[in-house]
Amino acid sequence: MNMNLNTNEILTTTEYDMFRKISNRKITENPKLEEELLSEGQRQPILVNEKMEVIDGQHRLYYLRKHRKPVRYIIDPTANFKTVISMNTSAVNWALQDYVYSFALEGDPEFVKLAKFLDENELLSDKMVIVAGSGRRDGTAAHVVKKLKKGDYVFSNEKQLREFCKFYERVLNETKLPNKPFLQSVLWTLYTTSVFDENRMLTQLKKSDLTSEDIEGFAKKKLLLTFLELYNGRWSDDHPSLIQYFINRKGSLTIPSLPKQDEDN
């Protein structure tokens, strides 16, 4: 292929194997996109670099190949993921993992570690990994996500996150609770307090026989309060593993316990 002649021209092919994946980015099913491609055709060409690595349009390529449809594409030798981030029409549809993989491919060591964790992780939501991995205790995502999209992220809490995964897997295996992001977030908030006792939490959860139906639809504050009351049970206020908390006049729930410290820090 003569790159000089074809650069920045819209080309068409059915040779699907000529395209290369630029990373291990996961393909998540998108029925709406699939239906749109079948009913309206491919309106936006796929963007590739000179190595035929797909920079933007991996999901479009996946569905076009699945249905044996021609692929329209553009070759831009200078294209990289930063190119796509600057293209609002594309970046808006990006999942968090797309941003992570893009900065990882540019060699940022923190994003490389985070991308590896996301590839290995089948338990927690991507947002949960990103927020917890940054060291946030309360699961609040907005600030962390905003900085991550600009390439500003430090994967500072990997060790504790891996330990939490082991505990959370026990919760799912030993109780009737579902694997849901809201459950991950609440348990993470409790897990990261310095006095938290894993076995106590598991024992209390099994005694309560809580199920998905019992907690589905709870606001996070109500769910957190439910788990706090369950964990503390009938312990006295001076019990060393009791998680202290209070609700202020505005209704905000606060856990003043010190965060659990990583021994390596």
Sorted by where each begins, the domain ranges of the chain are 9-90, 96-150, 171-254
Weakest mean pLDDT among 10-14, 124-128, 212-216, 223-227 = 212-216
Mind listing the pLDDT tens digit for each residue in 213-259? 878 778 888 899 999 999 999 999 999 999 999 988 888 888 886 66
Report residue 85's pLDDT band, with 50, 70 and 90 as the boundaries. low
Q: State the pLDDT at residue 97.
A: 86
pLDDT at 31: 87
pLDDT at site 91: 55
Helix pair 31-40, 58-66: axis angle to 10 deg = 60
pLDDT score of 70 more than 90: yes
Q: Note the pLDDT of residue 36.
A: 93
Cβ contacts of residue 6 below 8 Å, gap of 6+?
75
At 7, is the secondary structure helix, strand, or coil? strand
At 150-174, the pLDDT tens digits run 999 999 999 999 999 999 999 999 9
> What is the model's pLDDT at position 261?
53
Look up residue 206 and give its two tokens: 């099994």
Tokens (6 digits) for 2: 């003569």
Which tokens in the block code for residue 121?
Answer: 């992780």
